[in-house]
Structure 1
Amino acid sequence: MALPESAAELTTYIEGRYHVRHREQLPELRNLSAKVETVHAESPDVPAGLANILSDMIGELEVHMKKEELVLFPAIRQGHGVHMGEPISVMRADHDDHLGEISKIRTLTNDLTLPDNACGSWRRLYSGLQEFLTDIEEHIRIENDVLFPQFEKDRQAAR
C-alpha cells in the first residue's frame, strides 16, 4: 500500500495502522512469553527475560505514542511542523531505544529460531513476535525516513 502523501494524513495513518496494532500486540506477546518462560524454564532455548523486555516496551511505547498523539502529530496537522525540531529529536532518540530493545529480542530468541520440540504457545509467540518486529521496524522507518525529514528540512530553511 502506498503511504499517504500529506504529512497530516500520514500521522493519521501511523496512529490507525501502527499505534492501535502495537497496543494489541504487546500485551498478548508478553502473556505468551511469560507462559513459555514458565512452562519451559528448564529448556536451554527458552527466551528467559523476554516477558520483562516486552513489559518494559509496553510502558515505553505507550509513553512514546502518547507524545506523538498529544503533541507532535496535532502540531503537524495544524501546520506547525517547523517548530517541532526538539520533539522530533526526542522521537528519534526513542526510536533508537526501541531498536535496542528489538536487538535484545532477536538475541534472546536466537533471531526467532524455534527449537525442534517447540509447543504451540512457543510457535504462536515467535510468529507474533515476527509480526510485531516487522510492524515496529516499518513504523520507525516511516517516521524517521518519510515523516520527520519533511519538518527537519523546514526547520533548517527557517534558520
Structure 2
Amino acid sequence: MEERTVGEIVAERPAQSRVFQSYGIDFCCQGGRTLREACERKGVALQSVVEQLEAELREKPAPEVNPATYPPAELTRYVVAVHHGFLREELPRLDAMAARVAHVHGPHTPSLVKVYEVFQGLAVELAEHLMKEEQVLFPAIEKLAKGDSAAMPLDGPIDCMLHEHDDAGEALAKLRELTNGFTPPDDACNTYRALFAGLAELEEDLHRHIHLENSVLFPAARKLQEEVG
C-alpha cells in the first residue's frame, strides 16, 4: 500500500478519503503521489495512516456503487448530475451567507471579509469551469466513447482543467486557513456556524469531485483517445 498512489487508493475505496482528510493529505490535486511520499511531505507517520486505512477496510464494506468503476462517458454524466449539481445548489447559498457574515462580523473580524473575497473568486472560477466541462470536454469524451475518431483532441482541454483544479485546491486551502479549519468561535451566530459547516462540505465534495476527474476520468479519457486513434 505504501507505494500505491493516494489517488488509486481512494478510487478503489472512496470512503478512505476521510482518513486522508483527517491528516490533511491531498488526495485530489496531488493524488499522483504515493502514500509514502504524501506522508513524508505532510510530516505524518506512514504506519499510522496505513493502520487507519487497513482498519477502514476491515470495518466497512465496499460501497455497492463506486463511480470510479464507471466507463468514461457514464462517469461524465455522474459528475454532472452529482458534483456539478451540488455546486449549482450550494454556491448561491454559501455566497449569501458569506456576504452576510462578512458584513455583520467583518468590521471586528477582518478575516471574514477575506473569506468572502476568496469564496467569490472560487465561485466565479467554478462556474466557468463547469461550463467548459459540460460544453466542451465532456461532449468530446462522449463522442470518443461512441468511436468517433474525429472528436476534438483532449490533451489541451484536460490540461486546462487540471490547472483550474490546482487553483481551486489553493482557494480551498486558503479558506481552511482563514477559518481555522472551518471552526467557528464559541460565540458565533447560527449563520456564521452554517457558513463554516457549508464551506467544510464544499471542500469535501470538491475534493471527491476533483479526485474523480484527475485520477479516474482524465486518464481513462486519454486512454480512450489513444484506442480510438
Q: TM-score if structure 2 supplies the norm length?
A: 0.64
SS in 1 for 2:184: coil
- The match for 2:106 among 14, 34, 41 is 41
**2:72 aligned with 1:2:** no
Shifted more, 75-84 versus 106-115: the winner is 75-84
Alignment of 1:45-60 (within 5 A): 46-60=111-125
Which gives a bigger RCO, structure 1 or 2 (Cα 8 Å, sep 6+)?
1
Instruction: Give the % identical residues.
Output: 36
The gaps in structure 1 that reach 5 residues or longer are none
Q: After TM superposition, list the pairs within 5 Å mapping 1:1-159 onto structure 2.
A: 1-3=65-67, 5-44=70-109, 46-79=111-144, 83-154=153-224
Report the Cα offset of residue 44 of structure 1.
3.9
* Contiguous gaps of at least 5 residues in structure 2: 1-64
Counterpart position of 2:3:
none
C-alpha deviation, 1:104, in angstroms: 1.0
Alpha-carbon contact 1:19-1:65 (below 8 Å) kept: yes
Q: Deviations over 1:56-81 (max 9, x none)?
A: 22211111111100111001111167
Q: Distance in 2 between matches of 1:156 and 1:29?
A: 41
How far 1:158 moved relative to its partner?
A: 8.5
The secondary structure found in structure 1 opposite 2:218 is helix
SS of the equivalent of 1:39 reads helix
Poorly superposed stretches of 4+, deviation over 6 Å: 156-159
Letter in 2 for 1:126: F
CA distance in 1, matches of 2:78, 2:192: 31
Is the deviation greater in 5-14 or in 79-88?
79-88
- CA RMSD in angstroms, aligned pairs only: 2.2
Are the counterparts in 2 of residues 37 and 48 from structure 1 also a CA contact under 8 Å? yes
Whether the 8 Å CA contact 1:40–1:46 is kept in 2: the answer is: no
* Count of residue pairs brought into register by the alignment: 159
Which moved further from structure 2: 74-83 or 55-64?
74-83
Q: Is residue 165–residue 210 contact of structure 2 (8 Å, CA) maintained in 1?
A: yes
TM-score for the superposition, normalised by structure 1: 0.90
Residue 13 of structure 1, CA deviation: 0.5
Letter in 2 for 1:41: G
Q: Deviations over 1:59-117 (max 9, x none)?
A: 11111111100111001111167820111011000100100110111111111111011
C-alpha separation in 2, matches of 1:147 and 1:74? 13
